[in-house]
Amino acid sequence: MSEIDPRAIVSKSARLGEGVKIGPYAIVGDEVELGDGCVLHENAVVRGPSRLGRENRVFSFAVVGGDPQDLSFKGERVTLEVGDANQFREFSTINRGTVKGGGVTKVGSHNLFMSYTHVGHDSVVGSHTIFVNGATLAGHVIVEDYATVGNFSPVHQFCRVGRYAYIGAHTVITQDVPPFSKVVTPRHTGCYGINNVGLQRHGFSTERLKTLEKAYRFLVRSKLNTSQAIAKMRETMPDSEDVKELIAFIETAERGLTK
């Protein structure tokens, strides 16, 4: 017996398994099949033709089975096939296939699609994968079992991600990622001086700004190490409360300092 909130919209052509729960304002479109134990939270959307296996959970504002984002799509009958026990978190989007790509997008079982993730048309996702917030697959991508795609990492169309691979955050993938590997874009986060405009907006005087600029020159633009920079600050700006605050912050940093 399914539990359908009276405020939900469920197509007459949809097929629901045992124990399906559909929350308020959720939408189940034409030719959608939901396996036993599937749960659609409030405002979740599943469009068809799509077939979802058992115990999948679609969270608020996720759209599973939406039209492919491809200019060649002209409304043809293309599908989505999903296995069991997947989680589609808020605002994730999983598109159906295209005719030129074989007509079907496939997702395995026990995958976690965090908020704002996207699986493009004709992609094939294995099982036990993790898509961290904002991870994005273009069309025709293959992601094999147990892979992780880091947050805000786009994967170019027709690329493959091998089994057990780990793609670090903010990494752009334009070539195949081999199995068992760890791939990350080299990046360095640096400090480039004071937040001049912001401090002016908050009423910092010209004198305070000049003092802080001098302190930051010692800290990030000189050849002094951090301890030497602090000593210079104390020696040359002993009366500045802003500099005292800066020094206290540096000396209590437990995870190092962005310089």
Q: Which pair of tokens denotes residue 62? A: 């996720």
Whether 170 is catalytic is no
Q: How far is the C-alpha of 258 from the C-alpha of 74, rounded, in Å?
A: 51
Q: Which of 41, 118, 121, 140 is catalytic?
A: 121
Whether 156 is catalytic is no
Q: Which of 23, 53, 97, 139 is catalytic?
A: 139
The burial class, CB within 10 Å (0-12 / 13-18 / 19+), for 258 is exposed
Q: How far is the C-alpha of 225 from the C-alpha of 53, rounded, in Å?
A: 58
Q: How far is the C-alpha of 194 from the C-alpha of 73, rounded, in Å?
A: 50
Whether 122 is catalytic is yes
Q: Which of 122, 126, 134, 150 is catalytic?
A: 122
Which of 131, 29, 142, 124 has the alpha carbon at shortest distance from 81? Answer: 124
Amino acid (1-letter code) at residue 56: N
Q: How far is the C-alpha of 227 from the C-alpha of 215, rounded, in Å?
A: 13
Task: Name the residues annotated as catalytic.
Answer: 121-122, 139
